[in-house]
Structure 1
Amino acid sequence: MDFSMTVLVTGGSGFIGSHLVCSLVNRHPDWRIINLDDLDYCCSPKSLESVEDRANYTFIKGDVCNSQLVNHILNTENIDVIFHLAAKTHVESSFETPSSFQRVNIDGTRVLLGAAHQARHQLQRFIYVSTDEVYGASVDQVFDESSPVRPSNPYSATKAAAEYLVRSYWDKYKLPIIITRSNNIYGPRQFTEKVIPRFLTLLQMNRKCTIQGTLPKSRHFLFVDDAINAFWLVLEKGIVGEIYNVGTGCEIPIMQLARELVKMVKNVPDSEVNEWLEFVPDRPCVDLRYPIKCEKLQQLGWRAEVSWAEGIRQTVKWYQDNPDFWSDASEDQEEIRIHVNKDSGKAVGSPVPCCLTDGTQRDAEQ
């Protein structure tokens, strides 16, 4: 079958990547969609079961840092568009193993850029999915795309460094790049180290929601469908060489989030909610909030359409309907239980995560 477009998605088996791949495959049967993913702990083949047998979908298991593999793909598959989401994203682990974050997030991006530049087939778009964390934290200032980059942890520092690499290929070679910086994206199929599925997993295990520290942290939450629509719009109407914030006005304090989920999952009265909350030591260098403006993207016609009430309802229902979805994420499921129960409040899963997944998934907890 002849396809009118070939799209490469790196990290396409991760949370955001799998939603993007499914959207691409379903909306454009005339496009060939190639998913390059290393299938580590926070990725699941089950996320793509609905499209795995489709004629326009191809999966390649591999490391984005493998220059021989990446060069082969770019030189043989006539790639028109790249969505680069493959990254290590767990903030807490980035303090423990910063070199592995540098390897995947920076070197992986360098390998992909080099292959794209040298490929015989001319690339139409290289879309790099970054994070609002590159701006650093703010109490009062709201960041736009021209705000200075001041990352405050090894994860966001590697994402910022990768952005500079991406922009250098635009400045030097006019490689048609676009960068997106997103708020916290949530929804069905997100791995259980992120704050919403983490709280849901704890509650389903009849454990308390562990709140890291006592500072009033909050996050802006964007439902995954709205994020995917933003990526579509950037592909169709985005200006090459530009950066687009992908943000939402839905800012939820972490304490409020925990309380809402307790009431939804445990169906307890307000007077009993606090019995399901537990304060644990904070992680190093925690940012209180990441407020961003997204007028540039809105001028292209984008709006977040899924309300917080509807998005969190869909998310909670999915985790209730699929309690065993992540049961194969570790060879030893008891290891996950041990880590989720730790008083330190560390994230569910491997103590030293290593995966190629979604650029904007971050924050193990808050």
Structure 2
Amino acid sequence: MSSLPDYAPKSVLVTGGAGSVCILERRRCGERHSSAPLLARKSGFSLKHAVKTPGDITSSDLVTYVLKEEKIDTIMHFAAQTHVDNSFGNSFQFTHNNIYGTHVLLEAAKCCDTIRRFVHVSTDEVYGEGEDFETDPMTEEHILEPTNPYAATKAGAEFLAKSYRRSFKLPLIITRGNNVYGPHQYPEKLVPKFTNQLLRGRPVTLHGDGSNTRNFLYVEDVASAFDIILHKGKLGEIYNIGGQNELPNIAVAEALIKELGLDAQKEALVTFVGDRAFNDLRYTISTDKLAALGWREETTWEDGLKKTVEWYRKYTNRYGNIDAALVAHPRQGLKQDAP
């Protein structure tokens, strides 16, 4: 465990943290009343809604008002458009929310004299595919080579954040994380999408040949990582958040089919569809810096998947009509036919 003294925030603004001090519009990948309470419980905070109805981080007046009215000393900036498929169909919205929204928040934070820590949440996708995965996992110093509009906007937001650190001494920390999965996740993401397709008697829709791999990290482990970074992270640093559950997409589909007791129908429940315009084969990141702060992944893939499937069995109906999210290639903002 690091010997760094614990940082002790008093008033934390979580953007995009559904269910906490949320100033982002409702339509995002995280369902309201989900991840933020989990993080708050782990961090020992009580929740207060500074904004009673969801707003928009691109509203400078609103952001400035919240920072000053609530005497915010810590910002955890999760808010973003995050789904790669949607970024192929409506990339302007990604630029608006991810880059401009971050810029608004940075500028407001710069002008607020109570800010002591700004945690900017990015993604492992900013690295692109990289090379020599087995012998040279990507560290935080690796060059950024995003390959899709979503990842490019996240990289752009990072550069803005870094510039505010250098020019205005903003107390910044950046994180880059693997794929998160778990209960409450909106069904456009891979694990909940496949789960909800199967629960509705539909086959899963695998892009390409299903060989693209991703590293999956259970939501409670992610919350623990942010808890440690919030309290023990060093200003000016970047921390990769990654796990040990690297799986090809076809293995994810097979695991879900098995967990749902549908092995007898396996062949009929797997379909292969056209690949994305570009689909990174895999991301392999080093998490040594985060481990040095005391973080360890605790949830196995099997346990995490079981908890996730159990939750969707009980609560999948609360989403209403999610047909648009369950198509092979969702495109937010564009007319599309559900299967």
Query: Normalising by structure 2, what TM-score?
Result: 0.88
Cross-structure match for 2:303: 310
Identify if the C-alpha distance between structure 1 residues 57 and 153 changes in structure 2 by more than 3 Å, giving closer, same or farther.
Answer: same
What is the DSSP-based 3-state SS (H/G/I as helix, E as strand, rest coil) of the residue aligned with 1:231?
Answer: helix
Cross-structure match for 2:128: 136
CA positional deviation for 1:265: 1.1
CA positional deviation for 1:351: 4.7
2:49 is aligned with 1:58: yes
- The one-letter code matched in structure 1 to 2:323 is R
CA positional deviation for 1:321: 1.3
Which aligned pairs between 1:1-366 and structure 2 lie closer than 5 A? 5-13=10-18, 18=19, 21=20, 34-40=21-27, 42-47=29-34, 56-60=47-51, 61-119=54-112, 121-138=113-130, 140-141=132-133, 142-214=137-209, 216-269=211-264, 272-327=265-320, 333=321, 336-337=322-323, 340=326, 342=327, 345-347=328-330, 350-352=332-334
- The one-letter code matched in structure 1 to 2:69 is T
Equivalent pair of 2:210/2:249 in contact (CA under 8 Å): no
Alignment root-mean-square deviation, CA: 2.4
- Answer 1 or 2: higher relative contact order, Cα 8 Å, separation at least 6: 1
Identify if the C-alpha distance between structure 1 residues 42 and 56 changes in structure 2 by more than 3 Å, giving closer, same or farther.
Answer: closer
Equivalent pair of 1:138/1:288 in contact (CA under 8 Å): no
CA positional deviation for 1:56: 4.2
Runs of 4+ in 1 over 4 A off after TM superposition: 48-51, 349-353
CA positional deviation for 1:352: 4.4
C-alpha distance in 2 between matches for 1:318 and 1:175: 40
Sequence identity, in percent? 40
CA positional deviation for 1:138: 3.5
Identify if the C-alpha distance between structure 1 residues 220 and 71 changes in structure 2 by more than 3 Å, giving closer, same or farther.
Answer: same
- The one-letter code matched in structure 1 to 2:49 is T
CA positional deviation for 1:59: 4.6
Equivalent pair of 2:210/2:248 in contact (CA under 8 Å): no
Equivalent pair of 1:211/1:277 in contact (CA under 8 Å): yes
Identify if the C-alpha distance between structure 1 residues 234 and 339 changes in structure 2 by more than 3 Å, giving closer, same or farther.
Answer: closer
What is the DSSP-based 3-state SS (H/G/I as helix, E as strand, rest coil) of the residue aligned with 2:158?
Answer: helix
Equivalent pair of 2:206/2:272 in contact (CA under 8 Å): yes
Identify if the C-alpha distance between structure 1 residues 143 and 95 changes in structure 2 by more than 3 Å, giving closer, same or farther.
Answer: same
Number of residue pairs matched? 318
1:196-252 C-alpha deviation (Å, 9 max, x unpaired): 000011101100011111162111000011111111111111000000000111101
More displaced stretch, 176-185 vs 314-323: 314-323
C-alpha distance in 2 between matches for 1:298 and 1:339: 35
CA positional deviation for 1:259: 0.7
C-alpha distance in 2 between matches for 1:159 and 1:145: 15
What is the DSSP-based 3-state SS (H/G/I as helix, E as strand, rest coil) of the residue aligned with 1:123?
Answer: coil
